[in-house]
């Protein structure tokens, strides 16, 4: 079985590549000319890399025509929410054009293939207190251009399933973290700051944004296991939440990470880290996905955070 991962060099993409290789798949992945290969340096002899700009329809079609993958895991996207406020049109254009080009190429060259569209809990946006935990049937009230782009990706998958019979499954993944998480994301940002303070690379002050937000965190290694199950067991044209079902205040996350360090660290709020809009509680209901696949999170949250902190300790040293 041939699997293609768009954005294989990214956070989730690199973990998914390791998971699929361990399951016996022949794995290929897309990178850009400017991509860092740091996350997949250990995999370069075992995966096939395509330097492919997904916003270029001719490049995407040529790649799919040559590879004809059985499975496509579409993870590549502009996924940092603050960047989507700074560059809304670029975010929407990037995320939609990449997916349209993939779907069109699949329709022409591998119509019997399957594609997983990695979407986001951000699609739910403004969630009311009586709507938690969030089911797939919850209203979509997006609060960022990124969230709007993900809703559109979701419906593009549905449209190509209904119009052309493509086997497209959409997953709305809630917050996921672990080793290799980008430093702009909250758990990783905290872990990096702690590692830098421990190493004496910055003063013992850790800068934070909103610590009262309650979020649903899952280990990335559990998430990529779910991605593999989704294309094996889920209904095409449908959407599934991937979540832990547990809500944790960002303050709790910070305190767990601080508990792994013996260094005295002061906490200071940085207003630049506050979002224009921020929902107080986002917790997912993954019972629909569990019923289809039997999946549930396995890695303890404390282990996830310790692995993340140790990852940054290794980077800064």
The predicted structure's pLDDT at residue 277: 62
The predicted structure's pLDDT at residue 312: 98
The predicted structure's pLDDT at residue 71: 98
Structure tokens at 212: 């009262």
pLDDT band at residue 280 under the 50/70/90 scheme = confident
Cα separation, 284 vs 299, in Å, equals 17
- pLDDT, one tens digit per residue, over 215-261 is 999 999 999 999 999 999 999 999 999 999 999 999 999 999 999 99
> Which class for 21: exposed (0-12), middle (13-18), buried (19 or more C-beta within 10 A)?
middle
- pLDDT, one tens digit per residue, over 169-179 is 999 999 999 99
Contact in structure between 224 and 116 (CB atoms under 8 Å): no
pLDDT band at residue 106 under the 50/70/90 scheme = very high
**Which residues are bridge partners to 25 per DSSP?**
none
- Tell whether the model's pLDDT for residue 56 goes beyond 70: yes
The predicted structure's pLDDT at residue 69: 98
pTM: 0.96
Say whether 24 sits in a helix, a strand or coil. Answer: coil
More confident residue, 277 or 263: 263
pLDDT band at residue 37 under the 50/70/90 scheme = very high
- pLDDT, one tens digit per residue, over 290-313 is 999 999 999 999 999 999 999 999
- Tell whether the model's pLDDT for residue 276 goes beyond 80: no
The predicted structure's pLDDT at residue 304: 98
Contact in structure between 181 and 187 (CB atoms under 8 Å): yes
Mean pLDDT of the chain: 96
Share of the chain above pLDDT 90, in %: 94
* Distances in whole angstroms, Cα of residue 262 to Cα of each of 31, 54, 186, 199, 259: 39, 45, 21, 12, 7
- Tell whether the model's pLDDT for residue 266 goes beyond 80: yes
């Amino acid at each position: 079985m041939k699997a293609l991962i768009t954005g294989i060099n990214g956070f989730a993409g690199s973990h998914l590549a390791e998971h699929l290789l361990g399951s016996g798949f022949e794995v290929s992945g897309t990178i850009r000319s400017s991509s860092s290969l740091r996350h997949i340096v250990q995999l370069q002899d075992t995966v096939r890399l395509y330097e492919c700009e997904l916003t270029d329809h001719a490049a995407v079609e040529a790649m799919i025509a040559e590879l004809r993958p059985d499975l496509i895991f579409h993870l590549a996207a502009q996924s940092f929410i603050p960047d989507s406020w700074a560059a809304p049109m670029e975010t929407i254009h990037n995320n939609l054009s990449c997916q349209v080009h993939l779907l069109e190429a699949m329709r022409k060259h591998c119509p019997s293939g399957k594609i997983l569209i990695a979407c986001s809990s951000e699609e739910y946006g403004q969630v009311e207190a009586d709507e938690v935990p969030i089911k797939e049937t919850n209203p979509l009230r997006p609060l960022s251009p990124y969230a709007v782009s993900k809703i559109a990706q979701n419906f593009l998958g549905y449209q190509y399933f209904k119009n052309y019979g493509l086997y497209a499954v959409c997953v709305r993944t809630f917050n996921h973290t672990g080793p290799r998480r980008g430093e702009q994301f909250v758990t990783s940002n905290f872990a990096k700051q702690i590692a830098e303070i421990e190493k004496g690379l910055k003063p013992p002050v850790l800068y934070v944004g909103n610590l009262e937000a309650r979020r649903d965190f899952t280990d990335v290694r559990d998430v990529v296991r779910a991605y593999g199950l989704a294309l094996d067991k889920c209904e095409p044209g449908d959407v599934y939440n991937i979540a832990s079902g547990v809500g944790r205040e960002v303050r709790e996350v910070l305190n767990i990470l601080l508990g792994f360090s013996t260094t005295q660290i002061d906490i200071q709020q940085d207003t630049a880290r506050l979002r224009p809009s921020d929902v107080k509680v986002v917790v997912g209901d993954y019972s629909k996905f569990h019923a289809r696949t039997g999946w549930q999170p396995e890695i303890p949250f404390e282990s996830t955070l310790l692995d993340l902190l140790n990852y940054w300790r290794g980077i800064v040293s």
